[in-house]
Protein backbone atom coordinates (compact mmCIF):
# COMPACT_ATOMS: atom_id res chain seq x y z
CA UNK A 1 0.00 0.00 0.00
CA UNK A 2 2.85 2.35 0.70
CA UNK A 3 4.09 1.85 -2.85
CA UNK A 4 0.65 2.66 -4.32
CA UNK A 5 0.39 5.74 -2.12
CA UNK A 6 3.78 6.93 -3.31
CA UNK A 7 2.75 6.61 -6.94
CA UNK A 8 -0.46 8.47 -6.25
CA UNK A 9 1.41 11.38 -4.65
CA UNK A 10 3.74 11.53 -7.63
CA UNK A 11 0.82 11.71 -10.04
CA UNK A 12 -0.79 14.38 -7.93
CA UNK A 13 2.42 16.45 -8.09
CA UNK A 14 2.51 16.20 -11.88
CA UNK A 15 -1.09 17.26 -12.13
CA UNK A 16 -0.51 20.25 -9.88
CA UNK A 17 2.54 21.51 -11.75
CA UNK A 18 0.94 21.02 -15.14
CA UNK A 19 -1.96 23.21 -14.07
CA UNK A 20 0.15 26.30 -14.77
CA UNK A 21 -0.75 27.87 -18.09
CA UNK A 22 1.44 29.39 -20.75
CA UNK A 23 0.06 32.75 -19.65
CA UNK A 24 1.34 32.11 -16.12
CA UNK A 25 4.81 31.29 -17.44
CA UNK A 26 4.85 34.37 -19.66
CA UNK A 27 3.76 36.57 -16.76
CA UNK A 28 6.65 35.27 -14.66
CA UNK A 29 9.03 35.76 -17.59
CA UNK A 30 7.89 39.35 -18.05
CA UNK A 31 8.29 40.06 -14.34
CA UNK A 32 11.87 38.75 -14.34
CA UNK A 33 12.57 40.67 -17.56
CA UNK A 34 11.32 43.91 -15.99
CA UNK A 35 13.49 43.25 -12.95
CA UNK A 36 16.47 42.64 -15.22
CA UNK A 37 15.84 45.93 -17.00
CA UNK A 38 15.72 47.74 -13.67
CA UNK A 39 19.00 46.19 -12.54
CA UNK A 40 20.65 46.91 -15.88
CA UNK A 41 19.64 50.58 -15.71
CA UNK A 42 21.16 50.74 -12.22
CA UNK A 43 24.43 49.33 -13.54
CA UNK A 44 24.05 45.95 -11.82
CA UNK A 45 24.93 43.82 -14.84
CA UNK A 46 25.42 40.58 -12.93
CA UNK A 47 22.06 40.97 -11.25
CA UNK A 48 20.46 41.73 -14.61
CA UNK A 49 21.98 38.59 -16.15
CA UNK A 50 20.55 36.48 -13.31
CA UNK A 51 17.10 38.03 -13.77
CA UNK A 52 17.08 37.55 -17.53
CA UNK A 53 18.16 33.93 -17.13
CA UNK A 54 15.26 33.40 -14.70
CA UNK A 55 12.97 34.97 -17.29
CA UNK A 56 14.18 32.41 -19.84
CA UNK A 57 13.73 29.60 -17.32
CA UNK A 58 10.13 30.71 -16.82
CA UNK A 59 9.47 30.85 -20.57
CA UNK A 60 12.11 29.55 -22.95
CA UNK A 61 10.23 31.07 -25.93
CA UNK A 62 10.43 34.65 -24.64
CA UNK A 63 12.49 36.47 -27.27
CA UNK A 64 12.68 39.74 -25.30
CA UNK A 65 14.61 38.05 -22.50
CA UNK A 66 17.19 36.64 -24.90
CA UNK A 67 17.57 40.04 -26.55
CA UNK A 68 18.05 41.85 -23.25
CA UNK A 69 20.44 39.20 -21.98
CA UNK A 70 22.44 39.66 -25.16
CA UNK A 71 22.64 43.41 -24.53
CA UNK A 72 23.98 42.94 -20.99
CA UNK A 73 26.57 40.42 -22.14
CA UNK A 74 27.65 42.88 -24.83
CA UNK A 75 28.08 45.61 -22.22
CA UNK A 76 30.20 43.23 -20.14
CA UNK A 77 32.44 42.52 -23.13
CA UNK A 78 31.18 38.97 -23.72
CA UNK A 79 30.52 39.53 -27.41
CA UNK A 80 30.37 35.85 -28.37
CA UNK A 81 27.84 35.24 -25.62
CA UNK A 82 25.84 38.21 -26.85
CA UNK A 83 25.81 36.82 -30.39
CA UNK A 84 24.53 33.46 -29.13
CA UNK A 85 21.60 34.98 -27.18
CA UNK A 86 20.66 37.49 -29.86
CA UNK A 87 20.60 34.75 -32.48
CA UNK A 88 18.20 32.84 -30.23
CA UNK A 89 15.96 35.90 -29.96
CA UNK A 90 15.76 36.07 -33.76
CA UNK A 91 15.04 32.35 -34.08
CA UNK A 92 12.09 32.88 -31.74
CA UNK A 93 10.93 36.03 -33.55
CA UNK A 94 12.18 36.42 -37.13
CA UNK A 95 10.72 39.95 -37.32
CA UNK A 96 12.48 41.24 -34.20
CA UNK A 97 14.14 44.29 -35.74
CA UNK A 98 15.89 45.53 -32.60
CA UNK A 99 17.44 42.11 -32.00
CA UNK A 100 18.87 42.10 -35.54
CA UNK A 101 20.34 45.55 -34.87
CA UNK A 102 21.82 44.46 -31.55
CA UNK A 103 23.22 41.35 -33.21
CA UNK A 104 24.88 43.56 -35.80
CA UNK A 105 26.58 45.55 -33.04
CA UNK A 106 27.82 42.32 -31.43
CA UNK A 107 29.22 41.12 -34.77
CA UNK A 108 30.97 44.48 -35.19
CA UNK A 109 32.60 44.01 -31.78
CA UNK A 110 34.09 40.62 -32.76
CA UNK A 111 35.19 41.89 -36.17
CA UNK A 112 32.72 39.89 -38.27
CA UNK A 113 31.76 42.80 -40.49
CA UNK A 114 30.00 40.77 -43.18
CA UNK A 115 27.65 39.24 -40.61
CA UNK A 116 27.18 42.67 -39.05
CA UNK A 117 26.20 44.08 -42.44
CA UNK A 118 23.66 41.29 -43.02
CA UNK A 119 22.17 41.81 -39.55
CA UNK A 120 21.80 45.56 -39.97
CA UNK A 121 20.26 45.11 -43.42
CA UNK A 122 17.74 42.62 -42.05
CA UNK A 123 16.93 44.95 -39.16
CA UNK A 124 16.16 47.73 -41.63
CA UNK A 125 14.10 45.36 -43.78
CA UNK A 126 11.80 44.22 -40.97
CA UNK A 127 11.72 47.54 -39.10
CA UNK A 128 12.53 50.44 -41.46
CA UNK A 129 12.57 54.15 -40.72
CA UNK A 130 15.17 54.27 -37.94
CA UNK A 131 18.12 56.56 -38.69
CA UNK A 132 20.43 54.85 -36.19
CA UNK A 133 20.14 51.56 -38.05
CA UNK A 134 21.39 53.18 -41.26
CA UNK A 135 24.22 54.76 -39.28
CA UNK A 136 25.15 51.32 -37.95
CA UNK A 137 24.99 49.80 -41.42
CA UNK A 138 27.26 52.57 -42.65
CA UNK A 139 29.80 51.61 -39.99
CA UNK A 140 29.78 47.99 -41.20
CA UNK A 141 30.24 49.10 -44.81
CA UNK A 142 33.07 51.42 -43.79
CA UNK A 143 34.78 48.56 -41.95
CA UNK A 144 34.47 46.46 -45.12
CA UNK A 145 36.16 49.21 -47.15
CA UNK A 146 32.99 50.05 -49.11
CA UNK A 147 33.34 53.79 -48.62
CA UNK A 148 30.99 54.96 -51.36
CA UNK A 149 28.21 52.72 -50.09
CA UNK A 150 28.89 53.83 -46.52
CA UNK A 151 28.57 57.49 -47.53
CA UNK A 152 25.24 56.79 -49.24
CA UNK A 153 23.92 55.03 -46.14
CA UNK A 154 25.14 57.72 -43.73
CA UNK A 155 23.33 60.29 -45.87
CA UNK A 156 20.19 58.13 -45.68
CA UNK A 157 20.47 58.19 -41.90
CA UNK A 158 20.65 61.99 -42.00
CA UNK A 159 17.64 62.17 -44.31
CA UNK A 160 15.70 60.36 -41.62
CA UNK A 161 17.21 62.40 -38.78
CA UNK A 162 19.29 65.44 -39.66
CA UNK A 163 20.28 65.84 -36.01
CA UNK A 164 21.82 62.40 -35.58
CA UNK A 165 25.22 63.46 -34.30
CA UNK A 166 26.95 60.11 -34.77
CA UNK A 167 25.92 59.99 -38.45
CA UNK A 168 27.45 63.43 -39.11
CA UNK A 169 30.65 62.33 -37.38
CA UNK A 170 30.81 58.97 -39.18
CA UNK A 171 30.04 60.57 -42.55
CA UNK A 172 32.91 62.97 -41.89
CA UNK A 173 35.27 60.04 -41.24
CA UNK A 174 34.25 58.36 -44.53
CA UNK A 175 34.59 61.62 -46.48
CA UNK A 176 38.03 62.20 -44.99
CA UNK A 177 39.05 58.70 -46.03
CA UNK A 178 37.94 59.57 -49.57
CA UNK A 179 40.09 62.71 -49.48
CA UNK A 180 37.10 65.07 -49.36
CA UNK A 181 38.51 67.08 -46.48
CA UNK A 182 36.40 70.23 -46.75
CA UNK A 183 33.22 68.15 -46.73
CA UNK A 184 34.60 66.18 -43.79
CA UNK A 185 35.35 69.38 -41.87
CA UNK A 186 31.74 70.47 -42.40
CA UNK A 187 30.35 67.21 -41.02
CA UNK A 188 32.58 67.26 -37.92
CA UNK A 189 31.65 70.88 -37.24
CA UNK A 190 27.97 70.10 -37.68
CA UNK A 191 28.28 67.26 -35.16
CA UNK A 192 29.93 69.65 -32.70
CA UNK A 193 27.25 72.30 -33.27
CA UNK A 194 24.59 69.72 -32.44
CA UNK A 195 26.45 68.41 -29.39
CA UNK A 196 29.24 70.59 -28.03
CA UNK A 197 30.47 67.67 -25.88
CA UNK A 198 30.72 65.08 -28.65
CA UNK A 199 34.36 64.15 -28.10
CA UNK A 200 34.81 61.95 -31.19
CA UNK A 201 33.99 64.85 -33.52
CA UNK A 202 36.63 67.06 -31.91
CA UNK A 203 39.24 64.32 -32.24
CA UNK A 204 38.32 63.58 -35.86
CA UNK A 205 38.26 67.27 -36.79
CA UNK A 206 41.73 67.65 -35.32
CA UNK A 207 43.04 64.63 -37.26
CA UNK A 208 41.53 65.95 -40.50
CA UNK A 209 43.08 69.38 -39.98
CA UNK A 210 46.43 67.83 -39.13
CA UNK A 211 46.43 65.56 -42.16
CA UNK A 212 45.42 68.45 -44.41
CA UNK A 213 48.71 70.22 -43.70
CA UNK A 214 48.93 73.70 -45.23
CA UNK A 215 49.66 75.36 -41.91
CA UNK A 216 46.92 73.48 -40.08
CA UNK A 217 49.22 71.78 -37.55
CA UNK A 218 48.73 74.49 -34.94
CA UNK A 219 45.01 74.81 -35.76
CA UNK A 220 44.59 71.10 -35.14
CA UNK A 221 45.56 71.60 -31.48
CA UNK A 222 42.40 73.51 -30.55
CA UNK A 223 39.76 70.79 -31.10
CA UNK A 224 41.79 68.37 -28.97
CA UNK A 225 42.21 70.93 -26.20
CA UNK A 226 38.46 71.43 -26.23
CA UNK A 227 37.88 67.67 -26.10
CA UNK A 228 40.10 67.43 -23.03
CA UNK A 229 38.28 70.32 -21.42
CA UNK A 230 35.09 68.25 -21.55
CA UNK A 231 36.75 64.88 -20.85
CA UNK A 232 39.98 65.38 -18.94
CA UNK A 233 40.82 61.66 -18.99
CA UNK A 234 40.31 60.95 -22.69
CA UNK A 235 43.45 59.00 -23.57
CA UNK A 236 42.87 59.10 -27.34
CA UNK A 237 42.70 62.89 -27.26
CA UNK A 238 45.89 62.98 -25.17
CA UNK A 239 47.64 60.66 -27.62
CA UNK A 240 46.74 62.72 -30.68
CA UNK A 241 47.48 66.01 -28.99
CA UNK A 242 50.90 64.69 -27.94
CA UNK A 243 51.64 63.69 -31.54
CA UNK A 244 50.90 67.24 -32.69
CA UNK A 245 52.97 68.75 -29.90
CA UNK A 246 55.93 66.59 -30.92
CA UNK A 247 55.49 67.57 -34.54
CA UNK A 248 55.44 71.21 -33.47
CA UNK A 249 58.63 70.74 -31.41
CA UNK A 250 56.95 71.05 -28.01
CA UNK A 251 58.17 67.88 -26.30
CA UNK A 252 57.59 69.23 -22.79
CA UNK A 253 53.83 69.50 -23.30
CA UNK A 254 53.82 66.05 -24.89
CA UNK A 255 55.64 64.55 -21.90
CA UNK A 256 53.18 66.16 -19.49
CA UNK A 257 50.19 64.71 -21.32
CA UNK A 258 51.65 61.27 -21.89
CA UNK A 259 52.76 60.89 -18.29
CA UNK A 260 49.09 61.12 -17.32
CA UNK A 261 47.93 58.99 -20.26
CA UNK A 262 50.08 55.96 -19.35
CA UNK A 263 48.68 56.08 -15.83
CA UNK A 264 45.14 55.92 -17.20
CA UNK A 265 45.82 53.26 -19.84
CA UNK A 266 48.52 50.87 -18.69
CA UNK A 267 48.19 48.21 -21.40
CA UNK A 268 48.79 50.20 -24.59
CA UNK A 269 52.20 49.56 -26.15
CA UNK A 270 51.88 52.45 -28.61
CA UNK A 271 51.21 54.86 -25.78
CA UNK A 272 54.42 53.85 -23.97
CA UNK A 273 56.32 54.03 -27.26
CA UNK A 274 55.14 57.59 -27.90
CA UNK A 275 55.94 58.54 -24.30
CA UNK A 276 59.43 57.17 -24.83
CA UNK A 277 59.86 59.29 -27.96
CA UNK A 278 58.71 62.41 -26.12
CA UNK A 279 61.06 61.72 -23.22
CA UNK A 280 63.97 61.11 -25.58
CA UNK A 281 63.20 64.35 -27.40
CA UNK A 282 63.18 66.06 -24.00
CA UNK A 283 66.67 64.61 -23.25
CA UNK A 284 65.38 62.20 -20.62
CA UNK A 285 66.97 59.11 -22.15
CA UNK A 286 66.91 56.80 -19.13
CA UNK A 287 63.18 57.20 -18.53
CA UNK A 288 62.63 56.89 -22.27
CA UNK A 289 64.39 53.52 -22.21
CA UNK A 290 62.05 52.32 -19.44
CA UNK A 291 59.02 53.24 -21.53
CA UNK A 292 60.36 51.58 -24.67
CA UNK A 293 61.01 48.46 -22.57
CA UNK A 294 57.46 48.61 -21.23
CA UNK A 295 56.08 48.88 -24.77
CA UNK A 296 58.05 45.76 -25.73
CA UNK A 297 56.86 43.93 -22.60
CA UNK A 298 53.26 44.58 -23.65
CA UNK A 299 53.94 43.83 -27.32
CA UNK A 300 57.14 41.84 -27.93
CA UNK A 301 56.72 42.43 -31.69
CA UNK A 302 56.72 46.22 -31.40
CA UNK A 303 59.56 46.84 -33.86
CA UNK A 304 59.56 50.63 -33.56
CA UNK A 305 59.99 50.46 -29.80
CA UNK A 306 62.80 47.93 -30.20
CA UNK A 307 64.61 50.11 -32.73
CA UNK A 308 64.27 53.20 -30.54
CA UNK A 309 65.50 51.22 -27.53
CA UNK A 310 68.54 49.94 -29.44
CA UNK A 311 69.45 53.46 -30.56
CA UNK A 312 69.21 54.92 -27.06
CA UNK A 313 71.06 52.08 -25.35
CA UNK A 314 73.91 52.21 -27.88
CA UNK A 315 74.17 55.95 -27.35
CA UNK A 316 74.39 55.61 -23.60
CA UNK A 317 77.05 52.86 -23.83
CA UNK A 318 79.22 55.14 -25.93
In 203-226, which positions are buried (b, 16+ CB within 10 angstroms) versus exposed (e)?
Answer: bbbbbbbbebeeeeeeebbebbeb
Q: Are 278 and 251 in contact (CB under 8 A)?
A: yes
Full set of structural domains in the chain with CATH? 26-128 (1.25.40.10), 232-318 (1.25.40.10)
pTM: 0.83
Opening angle at CA 80, ends 266 and 140, nearest 5: 85
pLDDT for res 16: 45
User: SS3 breakdown of the chain: % helix, strand, coil, rounded to 5?
Assistant: 80, 0, 20
- CA distances to 145, 152, 169, 171 from 141, in Å: 6, 10, 15, 12
Phi, psi of 108 (to 5 degrees): -60, -40
pLDDT in tens, the chain (318 residues): 333 333 434 444 444 444 557 777 888 899 999 999 999 999 999 999 999 999 999 999 999 999 999 999 999 999 999 999 999 999 999 999 999 999 999 999 999 999 999 999 999 999 999 999 999 999 999 999 999 999 999 999 999 999 999 999 999 999 999 999 899 999 999 999 999 999 999 999 998 888 876 556 778 899 999 999 999 999 999 999 999 999 888 999 999 999 999 999 999 999 999 999 999 998 898 999 999 999 999 999 999 999 989 888 886 654
Q: How far apart are CA 194 and CA 40, in angstroms?
A: 28
Counting Cβ atoms within 10 Å, is residue 45 exposed (0-12), middle (13-18) or buried (19+)?
middle
pLDDT for res 11: 44
pLDDT for res 3: 36
Contacts of 127 (CB under 8 A, 6+ apart): 95, 97, 98, 100, 133
Q: Read off the DSSP letter of residue 251.
A: H
Q: How far apart are CA 64 and CA 96, in angstroms?
A: 9
Amino acid sequence: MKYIGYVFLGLLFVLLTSSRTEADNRADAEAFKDKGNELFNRGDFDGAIEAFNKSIEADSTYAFAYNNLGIVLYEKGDYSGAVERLRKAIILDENYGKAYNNLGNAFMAIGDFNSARASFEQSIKVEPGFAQKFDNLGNALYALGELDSAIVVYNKALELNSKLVSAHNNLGVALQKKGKLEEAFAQFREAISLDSRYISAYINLSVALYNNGKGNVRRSLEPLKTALKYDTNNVLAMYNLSLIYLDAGDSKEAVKLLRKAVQLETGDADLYYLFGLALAENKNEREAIKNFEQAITIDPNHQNAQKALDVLQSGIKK
